[in-house]
Chains A and B, each alone.
Chain A
Amino acid sequence: MQATQTAGVAQAMETIVSKVLILEERETERAHIRAFCVAHQLVPLRAQVDSVLAVLKSNLDLGAIFLANHFAGDPGGGLLMARRIHAVRPELPIYLRCGTRAEIDAMSDADARCVSASYTLETIDSLGDEIARTLFNLRYPSALVRGIGEITHAALSSQFNGLEIDVERPYVVKDRLIYGEISTLIPIEGSWCRGYMMLQADELDLMQTVRAERTHMQASGAADFRNLNALLGELTNLIWGAFKNRFINGRSQAVYAGQVPIVINHLHRYISFGSDNPQLCFQYVLRDPSDTSRIVKIHQRFVFNLSWSPEDFSENTQTLDALVDSGELELF
């Protein structure tokens, strides 16, 4: 059963957003910031003062943090928090709201380096350019974003039986946290892009799905983690193949195709591709209609860290027209 239709996928793909954490205790200021966020494709999230660092360790897939300098009852509490956040999550831009211009000017160089931009409520609009530069600096063609959702939905439908699949709105993140326990990584190479696709999932969620006989595996195979690896691996293979068939016209013509090390820190569940660019993310939520507690989330990230030329992007319409429907046998 494929409950979510392609039209629904397309509708969800229209706008790329980014989630931001609002650390602001004053109601009026928070409302002002929320309005700014809505106007700039940002999805505001809140956290309690005493749980900020714990929240940062969770997989919120954040793009940035809006922080008030007057925080946790302390007029300079925001800067203290900025230092702590910057120490553990330097990839996350911090926008610090100060009460006055004088507060901004009084900031030390060391503190200024912890924050990406400082502003007052009166000058919040000046953050628009900063957000465009740091969060939305890579332009993703709508046909690409919509197509990724469609091909991934089709791949999920082929590997999971009888689950409802929701494609959530795509978003960009600065976060580098790895979701779940199982991750796959596969190169994406073309004339207009070079980078990687990652899929990430929670092992227990996948295990329960296999046990419930919602995959092509026997339920008894759920206990072996290698089978769960294979499940996510085949899903990756299907998406990768469909991506190439639809969007890649041929290998890059570059004579020298450079690489950079990919660094993984298991302790911090952190992966770096050597680029500060935001990553394009999708989340797919698979629900079992017969057991609403059974949910699988698949996180998908595209990291075009090596080359990105969206002006050269094109969809292989000729190939699509001539494409034999998936699953059909083309005899020679």
Chain B
Amino acid sequence: MAQVLVVDDSSTVRNEVGDFLKNAGLSVALAVDGKDGLGKLQADPAIKLVVCDVNMPNMDGLTMAERVRSDLGNSTVNIIMLTTENSPAMKERGKAAGIKGWIVKPFNGDAVLATFKKLAGA
């Protein structure tokens, strides 16, 4: 049972974000790409917040966000994209998929922790 799912193909980012959130008292699950993320999300209904990269192998983050809604029928989980991308077109696609927010890397945990806790139901 986890409150937050961190989805990133980079182990550096998974460590950085995952450790930060754990140290802040949140329970965290990790996934290596969008496909893995979908599986973990389906298996753990306790997850309230997904922090997700965009560019990943096998399944990118925006496709994953779309499929969370369409395939899993999960309209309540909060999805935040954490990515180097900053294109308005991608953000529009994310909004259409129902994502909650967008962060341009690098990750600054202190700046977002309060919002993450709220979105994770902590």
Contact = CB atoms under 8 A, between A and B. Distances in A.
B36 interface: no
A331 interface: yes
A226 B55 CA distance: 19
Contacts, number: 96
Interface stretch (B11-19, B22-30, B38-46, B66-74): B11-19
B58 interface: no
How big is chain B's contact interface, by range? 20 to 34
A326 B15 contact: no
B12 A216 contact: yes
Contact of A326 (B94, B99, B106): B106
A326 B102 contact: no
Interface string A144-165: 0000000000110011000000
Contacts of A218: 15
Given A326-B106, A327-B103, A241 B85 contact: yes
Contact of B15 (A158, A216, A323): A216
Contacts of A234: 10, 12-13
A204 to B, nearest CB: 18
Contact of B103 (A158, A216, A329): A329
Contacts of A154: 106
Contacts of B115: 329, 331
A189 to B, nearest CB: 13
Contact of A226 (B11, B19, B85, B95): B11
A159 to B, nearest CB: 7
Contacts of A328: 103-104, 108, 111-112
How big is chain A's contact interface, by range? 20 to 34
A62 B87 CA distance: 38
B105 A230 contact: no
A330 B102 contact: yes
A231 B14 CA distance: 11
Nearest to A217: B15
Interface of B: 10-13, 15-16, 19, 55, 80, 83-87, 91, 94-95, 99-108, 111-112, 115
Given A234-B13, A241-B86, A329-B101, 18 more contacts: A154-B106, A227-B11, A230-B11, A230-B12, A231-B12, A237-B105, A244-B85, A323-B86, A323-B104, A326-B108, A327-B107, A328-B104, A329-B102, A329-B111, A331-B100, A331-B115, A332-B94, A332-B99
Interface of A: 154-155, 158-159, 215-218, 221, 226-227, 230-231, 233-234, 237-238, 240-242, 244-245, 319, 323-332
